[in-house]
Amino acid sequence: MTEDTAPVQVWLVERTFAEDKSNLIVLVYATTDGERYTMKEHAITGLSETRLTTAAVEVDPDDLDPVGDEMLQNQYATEATRMANVHDSDDPI
């Protein structure tokens, strides 16, 4: 992250198991407008109280990808906005 680039807050919109690796959980976080997202993978065995999944995280804007599909963009916007309205960013999910 460069000095003049502020982190972007993104909200948890999806949690699934990785298709090719059954011991991984894939977390998708998106902006409230649904236009950008990031994915994180965590080993199921690595999930513990020291590594909580939170309602939101802050990421470097360079780590965000555009959401190309309009339907998915609407879905992410709806869910990210809902999460932002219901949870504090550091709420464990």
- Going 55 to 57 to 61 to 66, the CA torsion angle's sign is negative
Tell the burial category of 84 from Cβ atoms under 10 Å away from its Cβ (0-12, 13-18, 19+). middle
The answer to whether position 1 is within a domain reads: no
The rounded distance, in Å, linking the Cα atoms of 67 and 37 is 7
The answer to whether position 93 is within a domain reads: no
Q: What is the pTM of this model?
A: 0.86
The answer to whether position 92 is within a domain reads: no
Residue 71 has pLDDT above 70, yes or no: yes
Instruction: Look at the chain and report how many structural domains it folds into.
Output: 1
Range of the domain at 53: 8-86
pLDDT digits (tens, 9 = 90+) for 12-30: 999 998 777 777 889 999 9
Return the beta strands (E) in the chain as ranges: 8-17, 24-30, 36-43, 56-59, 65-66
What is the predicted pLDDT for the residue at 49? Answer: 47
Residue 3 has pLDDT above 80, yes or no: no
pLDDT digits (tens, 9 = 90+) for 43-69: 776 555 456 789 999 999 999 999 999
The answer to whether position 36 is within a domain reads: yes
